[in-house]
Structures are given as C-alpha cells and as structure tokens.
C-alpha cells in the first residue's frame, strides 16, 4: 500500500482547527463560503503542527484564501459521524483508511469526483467509480519500545509471552482503521478467520484493552507504559520525530517472512457537501505535485502519485525499513462486504 517518512519541517502558515466542530455540528461552516471541512482519520496532522496536513492546509489557505476546518478521529468513527449527518451534511472531504473508505462509498456518502493528478494514482489506490482517491501512501505495522525492548519481536507467537501482559495494546477493530488492519493481517497470516480468531483469543490475555484511536498508543509505547502496539508506518515514522523510543516492525507467522499490506489515506468528496467546489479545490491541491512532494519529507508517507518520486532521506530510510517484508493485497471487496461479520467474530473471540 505504501511507504512513509516522518515530518521534519515546522509549518509557518496557520491551520484553522475546528475544535468546536468536533463537539457539535458545524453550522458556521455552512454559512462561510471561504471554508472547507475535512473529516479525517488521525495520522497526517503533526503533534507539534509539523505534519503533512499542517503544511498542506496552510499552503492551500495561502493560495486560495479558503480556511480548512478539521475534525479528526478513527476511520470508522469518521464514517459513522458522516452517516449520522447525512440529512444535514457538515463535511466536505472525508479521508479514511481502507476498508472504511470503501464503506463510505457503499453507503452513499461520497460523490464522484476525479481530482487533477488522479490519472497518476495506481488503479488499486482509487475507486473504479471515481468516488475516492488515495492521497498519501502507507503500510500497516507495529511498534515497540526500543529502550525497554531493544530487539523487536519477530512473530505473532512471541506476543503471547507473559512478559507482554498489560504491556501490549491494539486499537479497536471496526472503529480504528489500524485496528481493523490487525484483523486483516491476522486472517492473512494465519490462513483464515477461524485460526486468526483463535490466536487473538489467546492474545487477549496480554491486551490492555480497547482504544478508539491508534495514534494515542504511540506515546504510551515511547514512555514504556506499553512494550508493543499496532500502528502504521506513516504515522509512527512521523511520531518518532518527537518519540525517539519508537521502533517499527512487522510480525511474521512462526518462522515465516514478515508481512504487511498497503493502507493508504484515501480521500473523497462528501455527497451533498456544503462547500462542494471548495472540497474539489482541496482534493486537487492534495494531489498536486507540490503537496505530493511533501508526503515523504514532511508527512512520513509516500506519494500517492506514481510520477512523483520520493528521494529524500526519509524515503530512503522507509524503503530500507520495508526490505525483506512481503507485501500482500487484501481482498477489499470481501472485507467491505463481510466487515461486520469479522468484527463480530473478533468480539466473540476476545470478549470485547
């Protein structure tokens, strides 16, 4: 799905963060024609204002005069919020990880729009019906505390060791995109739903418990409160700028090869968006060569456009990180169709 780098530059422009919009709807957004509202999965906004979103939104506002109102949460959470607001749409642009972007499309939350530059995005990284396009590439992964656990675990089986009791946590499948990715990878690595659930049932003995947001786990790993957690390459590589104890790794099944899969940030124009034209302009800007060149050096990820080649130090480091890791392609159509079944099986297996 993608490779990632971390943010390095501070943003000089201003980002309009709609804190109030997070708590209550966004009535002001509907009346202000110089705004665009983004509902997004976490990971692309920097903890210190130095993430890809911070840079891109600031540059977009400077170029267009359009202020970005930003609301962040887990991928599933953002889709559910947009669904609740369907009769009174607040968001203009929705950005989530798979399979939630597919879910948004199948629930009629997105309208067709092909941003400029989308012709340079690979076929598997955009919807065939034109409802969404990846804007930053990324891969699923895990993190460990390099100080307390210098050598990353090699396998899923190692995580069953008693030393990880209450020192391991992963975000909630069905709510967080990266949490759902735990299910997807486990089902791939263990060869199906049943053996994956058998393993996750055993792992529950060490699991701290649910977390709606994957980004909240990295600080706990960095501080040593956790030894291991799930995440994704882009977000964790970006976070490691200010969290030096984070190490990224990919579990294998037994003594097999470590595996991962692409987990891009995919963006779509919300159906009946209050500021459709502004949403189109933002999507165009996110896929512009200017913004795509920042995906690695600033954003901790890889460009979604094939014609924009990342050659910065972060891109090189991330390419090395993925050496020897087998990248598989999930059956997203199956996952979209059966996600509720898989999540219910996980709940049953883990007692969650």
Preceding amide of 208 cis, omega within 30: no
Q: What's the CA gap between 249 and 118, in Å, rounded?
A: 31
Please, is 154 exposed, middle or buried when counting C-beta atoms within 10 Å of its C-beta (0-12, 13-18, 19+)?
Answer: middle
Q: Of 223, 264, 11, 318, which Cα lies nearest the Cα of 136?
A: 264
Q: Of 288, 282, 284, which Cα lies nearest the Cα of 308?
A: 288
Q: 183 near 173, Cβ under 8 Å?
A: yes
Please, is 130 exposed, middle or buried when counting C-beta atoms within 10 Å of its C-beta (0-12, 13-18, 19+)?
Answer: middle
Q: What's the CA gap between 78 and 266, in Å, rounded?
A: 13
pLDDT of the residue at 32: 62
Instruction: Kindly give the pairing relationship between strand 133-137 and strand 265-270.
Output: antiparallel
Q: 229 near 166, Cβ under 8 Å?
A: no
Q: What's the CA gap between 93 and 273, in Å, rounded?
A: 8
pLDDT of the residue at 31: 46
Q: What does the block give as tokens for 113?
A: 């729009």
Instruction: Kindly give the pairing relationship between strand 228-232 and strand 140-145.
Output: antiparallel
Q: Of 116, 130, 127, 67, which Cα lies nearest the Cα of 278?
A: 67
Q: Of 294, 220, 270, which Cα lies nearest the Cα of 46?
A: 294
Q: What's the CA gap between 206 and 208, in Å, rounded?
A: 7
Q: What is the pTM of this model?
A: 0.81
DSSP 3-state assignment of 245? coil
Q: What's the CA gap between 291 and 304, in Å, rounded?
A: 10
In sequence order, the β-bridge partners of residue 44 are none
Q: What's the CA gap between 123 and 231, in Å, rounded?
A: 25
pLDDT of the residue at 333: 87
Please, is 326 exposed, middle or buried when counting C-beta atoms within 10 Å of its C-beta (0-12, 13-18, 19+)?
Answer: middle
| C-alpha dihedral sign at 159, 246, 59, 30 | positive
Q: How far apart are the first and last CA of the chain?
A: 29
DSSP 3-state assignment of 41? strand
Q: What's the CA gap between 175 and 212, in Å, rounded?
A: 6
pLDDT of the residue at 338: 95
Q: What's the CA gap between 43 and 341, in Å, rounded?
A: 27
Q: What does the block give as tokens for 2?
A: 């993608």
Instruction: Kindly give the pairing relationship between strand 265-270 and strand 246-249.
Output: unpaired
pLDDT of the residue at 48: 83
**Along the 352 residues of the chain, how does pLDDT read in single tens digits?**
333 333 323 222 333 343 334 333 343 444 468 999 999 998 899 878 889 999 999 999 999 999 999 999 989 999 999 999 999 999 999 999 999 999 999 999 999 999 999 999 999 899 999 999 999 999 999 999 999 999 999 999 999 999 999 999 999 999 889 999 999 999 999 999 999 999 999 999 999 999 988 999 999 999 999 999 999 998 999 899 899 999 999 999 999 999 999 999 999 999 999 999 999 999 999 999 999 989 988 888 889 999 998 888 888 898 899 999 999 999 998 998 999 999 999 999 999 9
Determine the length of the chain.
352
- How is 84-141 classified by DSSP, letter by letter? HTGGG---SEEEE-TTHHHHHHHTT-EE----TTGGGB-GGGB-TTSS-EEEEE-BEE
Angle at 296 between CA 295 and CA 298, to 5 degrees: 75
């Amino acid at each position: 799905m993608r490779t990632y780098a971390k943010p390095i530059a501070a943003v000089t422009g201003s980002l309009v963060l709609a804190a109030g919009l997070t708590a209550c709807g966004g009535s002001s957004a509907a009346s202000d024609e110089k705004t665009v509202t983004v509902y997004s999965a976490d990971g692309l906004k920097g903890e210190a204002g130095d993430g890809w979103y911070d840079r891109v939104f600031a540059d977009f506002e400077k170029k267009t005069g359009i202020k970005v109102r930003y609301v962040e949460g887990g991928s599933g959470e953002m889709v559910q919020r947009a669904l609740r607001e369907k009769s009174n749409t607040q968001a203009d642009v929705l950005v989530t990880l798979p399979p939630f972007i597919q879910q948004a499309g199948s629930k009629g939350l997105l309208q067709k729009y092909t941003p400029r530059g989308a012709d340079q995005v690979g076929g598997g990284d955009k919807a065939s019906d034109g409802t969404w396009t990846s804007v930053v590439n990324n891969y699923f992964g895990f993190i460990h505390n390099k100080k307390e656990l210098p050598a990353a675990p090699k396998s899923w089986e190692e995580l069953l060791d008693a030393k990880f009791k209450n020192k391991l946590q992963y975000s909630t499948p069905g709510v967080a995109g990266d949490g759902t990715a735990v299910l997807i990878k486990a089902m791939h690595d263990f060869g199906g739903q049943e053996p994956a659930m058998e393993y996750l049932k055993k792992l529950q003995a060490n699991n701290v418990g649910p977390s709606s947001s994957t980004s909240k786990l990295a600080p706990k790993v960095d501080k040593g409160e956790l030894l291991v957690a799930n995440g994704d390459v882009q977000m964790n590589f970006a976070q490691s700028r200010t969290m030096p104890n984070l190490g990224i790794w990919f579990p294998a099944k037994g003594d097999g090869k470590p595996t991962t899969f692409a987990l891009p940030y995919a963006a779509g124009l919300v159906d009946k968006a209050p500021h459709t034209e502004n949403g189109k302009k933002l999507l165009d800007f996110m896929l512009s060569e200017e913004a795509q060149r920042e995906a690695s050096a600033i954003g901790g990820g890889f460009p979604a456009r094939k014609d924009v080649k990342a050659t910065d130090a972060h891109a090189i480091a991330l390419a090395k990180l993925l050496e020897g890791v087998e990248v598989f392609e999930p059956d997203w159509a199956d996952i979209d169709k059966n996600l509720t079944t898989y999540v219910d099986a996980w709940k049953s297996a883990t007692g969650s």
